[in-house]
């Protein structure tokens, strides 16, 4: 019986998410803060489409709080991508308007 408990406990430990070091956590939080500041700047300048800015903001707030650290890395990647696409869109839209 005790042997079975050890096997089950070992399997449960194997399923857990990989541990994130404190340096990685600080780096992720710093990246998130930078993106949130960038979102505020873009909102004030209205240089990127509001929908792109809003989507990136939603990822970094609502979805961030429910995610584990690995998922938060993916959220940061996605938010950066969305903001970049928004910037490209605003540049191409500005060029067409001229």
**pLDDT score recorded for residue 75:** 97
Q: Nearest-CA neighbor of 80 among 63, 66, 94, 60? A: 60
Pairwise CA distance, residues 93 & 72, whole Å: 31
**pLDDT score recorded for residue 50:** 84
- Asked if 69 contacts 17 with a C-beta cutoff of 8 angstroms, the reply is yes
Look at 84 and 49; give whichever has higher pLDDT: 84
Look at 10 and 32; give whichever has higher pLDDT: 32
CA atoms within 13 A on the CB side of 67: 18
User: pLDDT band at 93, cuts 50/70/90?
Assistant: low
Summarize pLDDT for 18-77 with one digit per residue, the tens: 677 899 999 999 999 999 999 998 888 776 778 888 999 999 999 999 999 999 999 999
**81 CB neighbour count, 10 Å cutoff:** 12
**pLDDT score recorded for residue 20:** 76
- Asked if 28 contacts 76 with a C-beta cutoff of 8 angstroms, the reply is yes
């Amino acid at each position: 019986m005790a042997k079975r408990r050890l096997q089950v406990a070992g399997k449960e430990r194997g399923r857990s998410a990989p541990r994130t070091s404190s340096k990685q956590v600080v780096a992720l939080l710093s990246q998130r803060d930078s993106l949130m500041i960038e979102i505020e700047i873009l909102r004030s300048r209205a240089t990127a489409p509001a929908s792109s800015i809003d989507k990136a903001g939603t990822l970094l707030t609502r979805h961030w709080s429910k995610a584990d650290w690995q998922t938060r890395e993916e959220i940061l990647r996605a938010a950066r991508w969305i903001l970049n696409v928004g910037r490209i869109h605003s540049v191409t839209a500005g060029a067409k308007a001229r």
